[in-house]
Amino acid sequence: MGTHAVGAYLRVLREARDIGRVALAQELGSGASQIEQLEKGVHTPRGPFLFAVVHAVHGNLEHVAQLMLDPDATVETGQQLALAWVAQNLEQATQPELWQQAQHLLADARHDPYLLERLMGYAEHALEAPATVIESSALPDASDSQPTERSD
């Protein structure tokens, strides 16, 4: 069980949010020593407390489950996963409208192969002209896509 990896993951996320152990413990109604033991992998987190900690530091429960189930997960694994999560969240925060639009387009692309083709063409165009700013209105609109009828 990767309790050390989970602890490192949670510590990195807590520090990235600039939350002190005492403040986190107060928010959760626990003691700072319990948070410290969790972060050092001494305490095996369980149930509602684990969910509360992950939520408080804006973590990802799937990451925690992945780390807990991986017997080879290390402190470094937990730290790297947390840093990647922080970077992803920062990127999403700086471009929330484009991020949401991209998520919707990708969801729609699962059902419309022609939309995926157009998105790939857009991406190729964007890669060819990295110095230009691409307006979000240049992205294909999923509502423009008409499902095609298949004749099998």
Give the pLDDT band (50/70/90) at residue 1. Answer: low
Give the pLDDT band (50/70/90) at residue 107. Answer: confident
As a whole number, mean pLDDT of residues 20-47 equals 91
Q: Are 67 and 73 in contact (CB under 8 A)?
A: yes
Distance, CA of 127 to CA of 121 (rounded, Å): 10
Query: Which pLDDT belongs to residue 29?
Result: 93
Query: Which pLDDT belongs to residue 16?
Result: 93
As a whole number, mean pLDDT of residues 4-29 equals 95
How high does pLDDT run on average in the chain?
80
Query: Which pLDDT belongs to residue 130?
Result: 52
As a whole number, mean pLDDT of residues 12-26 equals 95
Give the pLDDT band (50/70/90) at residue 141. Answer: low
DSSP string, the chain: --HHHHHHHHHHHHHHTT--HHHHHHHHTS-HHHHHHHHHTSS---HHHHHHHHHHTT--HHHHHHHHH-TT--HHHHHHHHHHHHHHHHHHHHSHHHHHHHHHHHHHHTT-HHHHHHHHHHHHHHHH-TTSPPPGGGSPPGGG--PPPP--
For Cα atoms 11, 43, 31, give the angle at the middle one, nearest 5 degrees.
70
Crossing angle between the packed helical segments 61-69 and 3-16, to the nearest 10 degrees: 150
| Contacts of range 119-128, beta carbons closer than 8 Å, 24 or more positions apart | none
CATH architecture of 3-94: Orthogonal Bundle (1.10)
Distance, CA of 16 to CA of 8 (rounded, Å): 12
Among 22-31, 35-44, 69-78, 133-142, the least confident range: 133-142
Give yes or no for residue 115 having a pLDDT over 80: no
The domain spans of the chain are: 3-94, 96-142
Give the pLDDT band (50/70/90) at residue 63. Answer: very high
Give yes or no for residue 128 having a pLDDT over 80: no
Distance, CA of 36 to CA of 42 (rounded, Å): 9
Length of the chain: 152
Distance, CA of 75 to CA of 67 (rounded, Å): 10
Query: Which pLDDT belongs to residue 138?
Result: 52
